[in-house]
Amino acid sequence: MTAKERLRKKIFAGKRISPGEAESLFTWDILELGEAADLRRRLLHPANTVGFILDRIINFTNICEAACDFCAFHARAALKPYVLSRPEIIAKIEELASKGGTQVMLQGGLHPGYRLADYTGMVREIKSRFPGIRLHSFSPSELAHIAAKSSLTLDRVVTELQDAGLDSVPGAADLLVDRIRSKVSPRKIGTAMWVEVMRSLHRHGMRSSATMTYGLGETAGERIEHLAVVRGVQDETGIFRAFIPWSFSPKHTRLESTVPATGLDYLKIVAVSRIFLDNIRYIQAGWLTEGLKLAQLALAMGANDMGGVLMEEKVVRATGAGAKAGMAEFIDLIKNAGKTPVLRDSDYKILDRRPARRLK
């Protein structure tokens, strides 16, 4: 039996594969890889449902002292500096709540003037007005930034934000490869601190998600290095509800001359993630960066969630990328992929098995 046949057998038996084996999957034919990834998805989710959530991303400021090369969102990149006022933030959440939305992602730049009280004040006011809204907000970089600016430990920052009402924190990992991070985001936290934030959140019983931004000049081995960090943290903590890969969109960034990753790259990353990340239940199709049609294909290659019907998002849209979709498009797209669309909450619990009736 060849090494490839042995690996195929291992995957179909639902066994864990090594980083070296995962890297070899990038050389497989796309249909063969997709079949293996879809089988692993079916072992975990035989029901064939694909979830989505009604949420809103509120990018409350783009003033950021990190000024990463791959970011088109921060002030001085493509956009003028801005800070949303508290009433503006509240009005956006009111609109979301009136449409049945259940989750808000507050995300900002690393504002040099913000301290812990600015964040806890925002969280407390939102939670007091909208107790039913889940705040899946900020990022590991923002938490580390708050700790440094406020001269507090990470644990204290997490405690205070949790007391104020923060429910969970998106993983916002970029690429967990320090060779790349030191080039494209030298003022942002490194891999070790990202892991420390996850450990701190875990100590407080909070959940997170893991993401991956690829196409930043990394090798295939470094893509697996990222996935290995995520799998290791999940083995240790079980903190991740989902994994969300997306490609780097170079337009309007300082890395504008970078050739964007291809659709085939994306589908391979989704499939390899599904197989390698055997301890994460939900793999999201990144429709915002990859477009709806490619996201639909990802549902046949291991992905089983569509993420949010976002009412607002500025970070990706600042690059000029950023598909737009409403609930009706999501439902059609999932059905046309041969799956059953379900509306879910932040914990991936199904809220509605017949979301189409909400369109009437």
Which residues of this protein are in contact with ligand SF4, per CB under 6 A? 64, 66-68, 71, 73-74, 109-110, 141, 185, 188
Q: How far is CA 39 from CA 6, 12, 43, 48, 335, in A?
A: 16, 7, 6, 11, 19
> From the CB of 102, what's the least distance to ligand SF4, in Å?
25
> From the CB of 252, what's the least distance to ligand SF4, in Å?
12
Q: Which is nearer to ligand SF4, 21 or 142 (CB)?
A: 142
> From the CB of 220, what's the least distance to ligand SF4, in Å?
24
Q: Which is nearer to ligand SF4, 72 or 277 (CB)?
A: 72
Q: Which is nearer to ligand SF4, 67 or 351 (CB)?
A: 67
> From the CB of 49, what's the least distance to ligand SF4, in Å?
33
Closest CA to 18 of 328, 227, 264, 331: 227
Closest CA to 59 of 34, 84, 23, 87: 84
Q: Which is nearer to ligand SF4, 141 or 234 (CB)?
A: 141
DSSP strands (E only) in 180-251: 207-214, 240-247
For the chain, give the number of residues.
360
Contact by Cβ (8 Å): 30, 268: yes
Q: Which is nearer to ligand SF4, 66 or 356 (CB)?
A: 66
Q: Which is nearer to ligand SF4, 109 or 170 (CB)?
A: 109
Pairing of strands 340-344, 134-135: unpaired
Residue 172 phi, psi (nearest 5): 30, 65
Contact by Cβ (8 Å): 239, 198: yes
Q: Which is nearer to ligand SF4, 212 or 277 (CB)?
A: 212
CA distance 101 to 226: 32
> From the CB of 172, what's the least distance to ligand SF4, in Å?
8
Closest CA to 112 of 85, 146, 160: 146
Contact by Cβ (8 Å): 263, 295: no
CA distance 113 to 323: 33
> From the CB of 59, what's the least distance to ligand SF4, in Å?
8
Q: Which is nearer to ligand SF4, 28 or 73 (CB)?
A: 73
> From the CB of 259, what's the least distance to ligand SF4, in Å?
20
Contact by Cβ (8 Å): 83, 60: yes
β-bridge mates for residue 246, sequence order: 213
> From the CB of 64, what's the least distance to ligand SF4, in Å?
3
